[in-house]
Amino acid sequence: MGLRAYREVLREPQLRRLIAVAMVARIPNSAAALVLTLHVVQTLHRSYAEAGIVATAATVGMALGSPWRGRLVDRVGLRRAVWPSVVAELVIWPLAGVVPYAALIPLAVVGGLLALPIFTVVRKSISVLAPEGQQRSAYALDSIATELVFMVGPAVGVAVATHVGTGVVLAAIGVAVSGAGIVLLVFDPPTRADQVVRATSHSADPVSQSAETAPRPRRLSWLTPTVAAVLAASSGATIVLVGTDLAILAHLRANDQVGSLGLVYFAWCLGSVVGGLAYGSRHRATSSMLLLLALGALTVPMGLAHSVVGLTLLAFVAGLPCAPVMTATAEEIARMVPEERRGEAMGWQGTAFTVGSAIGSPLLGLVIDAAAPWVAFVAAGGAGVLIAVAGLAVKRARRGADPQGELRL
The string of pLDDT tens digits covering residues 286-335 is 889 999 999 999 999 998 988 899 999 999 999 999 989 988 998 888 88
8 A C-beta contact, residue 72 and residue 117: no
Distance of alpha carbon 235 from alpha carbon 228, whole angstroms: 11
* Other beta carbons less than 10 A from residue 181's beta carbon: 23
Q: What is the mean pLDDT of the chain?
A: 82
Tell me the mean pLDDT in the region 119-136: 81
Q: According to the model, what pLDDT value does residue 401 have? A: 58
Question: pLDDT class for 105, splitting at 50, 70, 90?
Answer: very high
- Find the mean pLDDT for residues 187-208: 57
pLDDT of amino acid 20: 85
Q: What is the pLDDT of residues 21-71, one digit of tens each?
A: 888 888 888 888 888 988 998 899 888 788 878 877 887 888 788 777 777
Highest mean pLDDT among 9-13, 22-26, 236-240: 236-240
Q: Is the pTM of this model over 0.75?
A: no
Instruction: Using alpha carbons, list the distances in angstroms from residue 146 to 35, 136, 141, 143, 327.
Output: 18, 15, 8, 5, 11
Residue 117 has pLDDT above 70, yes or no: yes
Q: Looking at residue 219, what is its pLDDT?
A: 62
**Residue 380: pLDDT band by 50, 70, 90 thresholds?**
very high
Q: What is the mean pLDDT of residues 200-221?
A: 47
Provide, rounded to the nearest whole percent, the portion of the chain with pLDDT above 70: 89
Average pLDDT score over residue span 398-403: 60
